């Protein structure tokens, strides 16, 4: 370390972040599972449209994303959702490891910390929204 290095202020390290916010359509019924540990997890699959202005040619126009929550507060809201509802999920991206018949696998999912219904499927079906 030189004298000039000692006089330089330290470079601040930014805080790491794992924050996800999704707005999309519920694509299948919400599922509830009791785990061997006694915990309950509620899961939902969202279809989220990609921004058409940023799509390269011949690319997918939607992403299908698994979301799960261990929060009783989120469970109560999620279990009211139906296929076709437009919802918001906020949380963190998690990598989960599971055993399968062909061996261990991993998947990413959003661990929901807060959720809310934005537009119900009847409103979407009636064409009263652009979703």
Helix (H) / strand (E) element for 124: namely helix 121-125
> For 54-111, how does the pLDDT look when each residue is reduced to its tens digit (9 = 90+)?
888 888 899 999 999 999 999 999 999 999 999 999 999 999 998 889 999 999 999 9
> For 106-124, how does the pLDDT look when each residue is reduced to its tens digit (9 = 90+)?
999 999 999 999 999 989 8
For the chain, what is the domain count? 1
Is the pLDDT score of 4 beyond 80? no
Mean predicted confidence (pLDDT) in 11-37? 94
Q: Domain containing 54: what range?
A: 17-120
Half-sphere exposure (CA, 13 Å, Cβ side) for 122? Answer: 0
CATH code for the domain in which residue 112 is found: 2.40.50.140
């Amino acid at each position: 370390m030189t004298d000039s290095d000692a006089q330089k202020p330290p470079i601040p390290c930014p805080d790491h972040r794992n924050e996800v916010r999704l707005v999309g359509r519920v694509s299948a019924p919400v599922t509830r599972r009791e785990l061997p540990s006694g915990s309950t997890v509620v899961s939902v699959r969202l279809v989220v449209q990609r921004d058409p202005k940023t799509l390269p040619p011949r690319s997918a126009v939607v992403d299908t994303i698994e979301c799960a929550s261990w929060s009783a507060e989120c469970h109560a809201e999620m279990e009211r959702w139906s296929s076709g509802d437009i919802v918001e999920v906020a949380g963190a991206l998690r990598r989960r490891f599971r055993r399968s018949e062909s061996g261990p696998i991993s998947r990413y999912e959003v661990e929901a910390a807060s959720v809310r219904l934005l537009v119900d499927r009847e409103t979407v079906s009636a064409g009263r929204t652009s979703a």
